[in-house]
């Protein structure tokens, strides 16, 4: 049976959330989420925007104060997210246990560091000299893996087209060339991690940041 691929902690089908204790940042984010207009912003913040740009009551509904998108969620998405908040602590704790198990098993491989003892990541990131070879081997063992996020944007085709050439970003390029994600989710346990690590170490060659 294939080990399930990592997924983000909870799912609302699509979408996510942004949290900050900076009031101005929160207000601007709300505006950017909804086209860039001033609706749904706190009264005083919206009042200051209208005053700054001399916006009349008539114009206010369709005045765009920031470059924005249409990223508003739906009631269904919100309902699913709220329901899953009840299991979030459990999921985070389990992911933290699995993260530490990976770190224990892969001592010779690069691991993210944090001043926080509690690390609950959506996948286990590490670096290897031969990510393609590792990916093929794991796939043949029904274990999923992925490149480490997007690697270096400076090496992506769209950027080369837009910029006319690639852009050298030292550390991002190392992630691009050597980064690999191993599965972490609430449906696997420490025995699964042990099996993943056993297969991983059969072919993986450690790489460290330079």
Please give the share of the chain, as a percent, with pLDDT higher than 70.
95
pLDDT, residue 149, reads: 82
- Give the mean pLDDT of 7-25: 79
Q: What is the pLDDT of residues 131-161, one digit of tens each?
A: 999 999 999 999 999 998 888 999 998 999 9
Of the candidates 26, 68, 72, 65, the one whose C-alpha atom is nearest the C-alpha of residue 48 is 65
What pLDDT was estimated at residue 8? Answer: 66
Domain ranges of the chain: 23-72, 87-203
Does the pTM of the predicted model rise above 0.85? no
Residue 145: both structure tokens together: 């893996």
Handedness of CA 136, 141, 144, 145 (dihedral sign): negative
Q: Which two tokens stand for residue 185?
A: 């989710």
Question: How many of the other CB atoms lie within 10 Å of CB of 12?
Answer: 19
Give the start-end residues of each E strand in 28-130.
123-127
Between 3.10.450.50, 3.90.550.10, 3.40.50.261, 3.90.1150.10, what CATH number should domain 87-203 receive?
Answer: 3.90.1150.10
């Amino acid at each position: 049976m294939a080990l399930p691929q990592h997924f983000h902690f909870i799912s609302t089908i699509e979408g996510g959330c942004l949290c900050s204790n900076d009031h101005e940042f929160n207000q601007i984010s709300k505006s950017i989420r909804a086209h860039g207009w001033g609706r749904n912003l706190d009264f005083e913040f919206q009042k200051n925007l209208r005053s700054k740009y001399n916006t009349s009551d008539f114009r206010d509904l369709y005045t765009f104060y920031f470059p924005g998108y249409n990223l508003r969620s739906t009631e269904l998405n919100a309902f699913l997210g709220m329901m899953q908040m009840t299991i979030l602590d459990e999921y985070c704790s389990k992911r933290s246990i699995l993260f530490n198990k990976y770190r224990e098993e892969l001592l010779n491989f690069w691991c993210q560091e944090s001043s926080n003892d509690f690390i609950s990541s959506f996948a286990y990131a590490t670096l290897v000299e031969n990510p393609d070879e590792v990916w093929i081997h794991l796939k043949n063992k029904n274990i999923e893996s992925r490149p480490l996020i997007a690697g270096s944007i400076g090496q992506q085709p769209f950027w080369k087209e837009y910029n006319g050439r690639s852009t050298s970003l030292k550390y991002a390029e190392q992630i691009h060339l050597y980064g690999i994600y191993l599965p972490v989710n609430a449906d696997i346990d420490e025995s699964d991690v042990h099996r993943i690590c056993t297969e991983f170490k059969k072919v993986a060659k450690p790489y460290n940041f330079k």
